[in-house]
Structure 1
Amino acid sequence: MTHAEVTTRQHYDIPPAPPTVLWDLANEAGIRFNGDAPWDIQIHDECVYDLIFSEGSLGFGEAYMDGLWDCGRLDELFHRLLRADIDTKIGKWTRLRFLGHALRHRLFNLQSSRRAFQVGERHYDIGNDVFETMLDPTMSYSCGYWRDATNLTQAQFDKLDLICRKLDLQPGERLLEIGCGWGGLARFAAQHYGVDVVGITVSKEQQKLAEDRCAGLPVTIELKDYRDLTGTYDKVVSVGMFEHVGPKNYPAYFEVVNRVLKDDGLFLLHTIGVTSTSNQTDPWIDKYIFPNGKIPSAQEITAAVEHRFAIADWHNFGPDYDRTLMAWWGNFDRAWPQLSNKYGNRFYRMWKYYLLSCAGFFRSGQGQLWQVVLAKNGRSSIYESAR
């Protein structure tokens, strides 16, 4: 969207509030407009104020993409905004505008099988070169485990090993990975734990690269929706995929896992979580980054798990995602000169806004990262957590 389009877009029938309302809210978070701190917002066009009131976080994000405002430390800006709960307080001005957005999530199944491949096409297929430059050598596009790590590569290695140990993988077992990405975990588990792996993805680009990276190993990568799974497996794992399932499909998702998992098997769910249940997702993230996505709450997970699984372990290391995202941003920013001709400045600002706003989300404590180990009801073996 061009500068002209932003300044001339039609506003909705929401009474304009004076900028002092925004200034007061910003002050609550320790932020100033055109201030000197690195987390202050530098306004280049006063239409930004109207965009915030008329379109909330969507207008705020799009205005940044269009260069209408800047900030030296976007991660700290969002950390402060979210820690002060400014997103909720500004909601009274934008609730009418996004009533339709909330109802869309409440009334429709945005993650139906017909829509399952949209996120692959619009996010994961944008170009493997972006992810290859941003991620570690395993191409793990999920939170690293930083307890003993000093760099991203070690944090992702430790995360993959932690998953395999929590699943108690044994040589010769069959492991199903729902949402296998570029094959990092499948390759690691096959190489280091001697298991046969079937990985599924909704991204054609991920499938092609994962197959190349896992060549010569007992790994099969399939382009498939989880609802179409068949067969039986000793262990099942899903890393960073559950955010695309959606609350209306949680029962079906866990029912599929229950059906394909052997009676004495284990299932590890690695997912972002939020501290309270909500019917909405951020409109900017929904439009530009993860279409149809929805972050679960603990209550939503436990309700869907009940009668299907016993919770054997629940591990939260949410602060590690802040550090992971900052490492991704550093890699992407350093690699940008090689990518700029292909993707352009608006993509750069979009990707920067995405990574750094998410870092602030986890730094504020609103974002969590959970690894939940589930066992079928009646499992005979005693589970001991490996942390």
Structure 2
Amino acid sequence: MADAARRLTALAEELLGTPFPLRIRAWDGSEDGPPGAPVLSVRHRRALRRFLWCPGELGLARAWVAGELDILGDLYEGMDRLSGLFWERGAGPGGGVRGALGAAAALRDPRTRAAARELVTLAGPGLPPPPPREEARRLRGGPLHSPRRDRRAVSHHYDVGNDFYALVLGPSMVYSCAYWTEGADLEAAQRDKLDLVCRKLALRPGSRLLDVGCGWGALVLHAAREYGVRAVGITLSSEQAAHARKWIAEEGLADRVEIRVQDYREVPDGPYDAIASIGMAEHVGSARYRAYAGVLHGLLRPGGRLLNHQIARRPEPDEEEYRIDAFIDAYVFPDGELAPVGSTVARLEEAGFEVRDVEAIREHYALTLRQWVARLERDWPRAVRMVSPGRARVWRLYMAASALSFERNRIGVNQILAVRTPEGGTSGLPLRPRAWTEA
């Protein structure tokens, strides 16, 4: 077979109903497609067998993670050209793959049986290849978003090695979008984000802060060191907690900061003056979100503030048809869910919060993700040694596609400031609260 690329191009155009926008390089060394375009490298026929046995997004994702598919050249341009075909809204949180699913449906259409036979011929004989080992197995241990199941989901994503996260995130160890100004580098932008959160929460010496989903401890450390607070950080990741405790001890702040491996539903020692939830609520789930907001409301003192920093998806025309992204669920955030920002605001209000400010910062996340991808690619051999080739490929695909999703307004991210306003109605906010952006 010396013309696999030409046959693949024709097959893709038949199934997708549109010219294929990338050049294809096949396992037999052949190439076909627009000159100068990024190259979709199909390195092994197994990639086609994966799609044949598991049509749609998950089959394609397995081929990518296994190293049987890749984009050569400009990764972002290649993925952008595929947008609307394979990754309609980007293979990031809440993304979808209508084109791939449409191609899968076409394989079952009697009118395209010839294309189906061609795919079988190109794929070659064989049983379905086993999924790459990085794929999350079906989570056990309780209903969706029960404490035990949440621990397993968090462990799949976060307990892959602190050194790997340090390579990707940089010294700040902040795993949420930075807050950029002209000329800033990643470290400065992350420091500015942490400081913005502290100012929105009006932290003062002696304030009691709870960080729900504290990660590796950057926010509680910054708040204790720069604002003199007493802080508690909770996480379900034992590896994160170990790193945070060591870091805090090295900074001499162990007497003011406590790190717990604890579920948000198990925090016993409110009230707090302020609560931060930065990039954690995506793990809560829509069915549990009202209860989650109620727990945080109950942990705040009257007049206390909540800063909820959360990725948002765009509303679906029919909300009942929303499906968790198959690639994200299998390889990145098992059981993760995104909600439109309006739904999040409504759930917070139902729990008793007064929502006082919503700041949309999606462009900031696109910039942050591009920096993380650049760090990963720059130190790729070491990243592969730290985790595995498949895990590193998961991260490269996830972060690059997510950057495009933010840039193209397919998903967003918002900081929502809410107050547990006392019965008298005094929120404690200044008349012009956006002054915090000027500090």
Q: TM-score, normalised by structure 1?
A: 0.85
Amino acid at match of 1:229: V
Q: CA deviation at 1:299?
A: 3.0
Q: Report whether the alignment pairs 1:120 with 2:167.
A: no
Q: Report whether the alignment pairs 1:157 with 2:191.
A: yes
Q: Is the 8 A contact 1:149 1:155 kept in 2?
A: no
**Which of residues 212, 230, 233 is equivalent to 2:272?**
233
Q: Is the 8 A contact 2:160 2:387 kept in 1?
A: no
Q: RCO higher in 1 or 2 (8 Å CA, sep ≥ 6)?
A: 1
Q: CA deviation at 1:358?
A: 1.8
Amino acid at match of 1:224: Q
Listed as ranges, the gaps of 5+ residues in structure 2 are 1-9, 26-32, 89-96, 107-137
Q: CA deviation at 1:300?
A: 2.3
1:222 partner SS:
strand
Aligned to 2:59: 59
1:183-202 Cα deviation digits (max 9, x unpaired): 00110011111111101000
C-alpha distance in structure 1 between counterparts of 2:387 and 2:237, whole Å:
20
Amino acid at match of 2:263: D
Q: 1:310 to 1:89 in 2, by over 3 A?
A: farther
Aligned to 1:180: 214
Listed as ranges, the gaps of 5+ residues in structure 1 are 1-16, 97-103
Amino acid at match of 2:348: V
1:186 partner SS:
helix
1:356 partner SS:
helix
**Which of residues 259, 270, 275 is equivalent to 2:309?**
270
Q: Is the 8 A contact 2:206 2:229 kept in 1?
A: yes
Q: Is the radius of gyration larger for structure 1 or structure 2?
A: 2
**Which of residues 4, 12, 17 is equivalent to 1:19?**
12
C-alpha distance in structure 2 between counterparts of 1:26 and 1:48, whole Å:
21
Q: Report whether the alignment pairs 1:76 with 2:77.
A: yes
**Which of residues 249, 252, 271 is equivalent to 2:288?**
249
Q: Report whether the alignment pairs 1:137 with 2:188.
A: no
1:71 partner SS:
strand
C-alpha distance in structure 1 between counterparts of 2:336 and 2:303, whole Å:
32
Q: Is the 8 A contact 1:258 1:376 kept in 2?
A: yes
2:312 partner SS:
strand
Q: CA deviation at 1:31?
A: 4.2
Q: CA deviation at 1:89?
A: 4.4
Q: Is the 8 A contact 1:79 1:361 kept in 2?
A: no
1:70 partner SS:
strand
Aligned to 2:429: 382
Aligned to 2:257: 219
1:3-42 pair list within 5 angstroms? 19-25=12-18, 27=20, 30-31=21-22, 33-34=24-25, 35=33, 36-37=35-36, 39-42=38-41
Aligned to 1:12: none
Aligned to 2:114: none
Q: CA deviation at 1:74?
A: 3.0
Percent identity between the two aligned chains:
34
C-alpha distance in structure 2 between counterparts of 1:47 and 1:229, whole Å:
48
Q: Is the 8 A contact 1:76 1:360 kept in 2?
A: no
Amino acid at match of 2:257: V
Q: CA deviation at 1:148?
A: 3.7
Q: Report whether the alignment pairs 1:209 with 2:239.
A: no
Q: Is the 8 A contact 1:170 1:193 kept in 2?
A: yes
**Which of residues 365, 377, 380 is equivalent to 2:409?**
365
C-alpha distance in structure 2 between counterparts of 1:153 and 1:363, whole Å:
21
**Which of residues 261, 267, 280 is equivalent to 2:300?**
261
Q: 1:300 to 1:92 in 2, by over 3 A?
A: farther
Q: Which runs of 4+ in 1 moved over 6 A?
A: none
Q: CA deviation at 1:63?
A: 0.9
Q: CA deviation at 1:334?
A: 2.5
Q: CA deviation at 1:265?
A: 0.9
Aligned to 2:202: 168
1:143 partner SS:
coil
Alignment length, in residue pairs?
A: 360
C-alpha distance in structure 2 between counterparts of 1:259 and 1:226, whole Å:
12
Q: CA deviation at 1:321?
A: 1.3
Q: 1:281 to 1:169 in 2, by over 3 A?
A: same
1:41 partner SS:
strand
C-alpha distance in structure 2 between counterparts of 1:90 and 1:25, whole Å:
13
C-alpha distance in structure 2 between counterparts of 1:306 and 1:67, whole Å:
46
Q: TM-score, normalised by structure 2?
A: 0.75
1:184-236 Cα deviation digits (max 9, x unpaired): 01100111111111010000000011011112211000000011122210000
Q: CA deviation at 1:150?
A: 2.5
Q: 1:121 to 1:18 in 2, by over 3 A?
A: same
Q: Which segment is superposed worse, 180-189 or 161-170? A: 161-170
Q: Is the 8 A contact 1:270 1:371 kept in 2?
A: yes
Cα-Cα RMSD: 2.7
Q: Is the 8 A contact 1:83 1:365 kept in 2?
A: no
Q: 1:252 to 1:291 in 2, by over 3 A?
A: same
Q: Report whether the alignment pairs 1:200 with 2:225.
A: no
